Amino acid sequence: MSEVSVQRNYKDTVFRMLFNDKENLLSLYNALNRTKYTDTDGLEITTLENAVYMNYKNDISFVFDFRLMIYEHQSTVNPNMPLRDLIYVTRVLQGRIRSEKLYGKSLIKIPAPKFIVFYNGVDFQPEQQILRLSEAFEKHQEEPALELTVSVYNINLGHNTELLEACHQLKEYAQYVEQVRIFAKGMPFPDAVECAVDYCIGKGVLADFLSKNRAEAIAVSIFEFDEEKFLKSEREESKKEGQKEGEEKLAGLLRGLMDAGKMEEMKRALSDREYREKLYQEK
Q: Report pLDDT digits (tens) over 195-232.
A: 999 999 999 999 999 999 998 899 888 877 765 566 56
Tell me, what's the pLDDT at 43?
52
Question: pLDDT by residue (tens digit) across 115-154?
Answer: 999 999 888 899 999 999 999 999 998 999 999 999 999 9
Total residue length of the chain: 283
**pLDDT tens digit sequence for 244-280:** 456 567 777 777 777 677 777 776 777 677 887 888 7
**Phi and psi at residue 105, to the nearest 5°:** -85, -15
- Evaluate whether 224 touches 75 at the Cβ level (below 8 Å): yes
Cite the beta strand spans of the chain per DSSP E: 52-54, 60-64, 67-74, 112-119, 128-132, 149-154
Secondary structure of 126-181 as H, E, C letters: CCEEEEEHHHHCCCCCCCCCCCCEEEEEECCCCCCHHHHHHCHHHHHHHHHHHHHH
Please tell me the chain's helix, strand, coil percentages from 3-state DSSP, rounded to the nearest 5: 50, 10, 35
Which residues are within 8 A (CB) of 4 and not within 5 positions of it... i.e. 6 or more apart? 20, 53, 55
| In contact, 163 and 31? CB cutoff 8 Å | yes
Phi-psi region of 160 (alpha: psi -120 to 50; beta: other; left: phi over 0): left
Per-residue pLDDT tens for 63-74?
766 778 889 988
Q: Give the pLDDT confidence of 13-24 residue by residue, as tens digits.
A: 899 899 988 889
pLDDT for residue 167: 95
The per-residue pLDDT for range 21-45, each reduced to its tens digit, is 888 988 998 888 876 555 555 555 5
3-state secondary structure of 109: coil
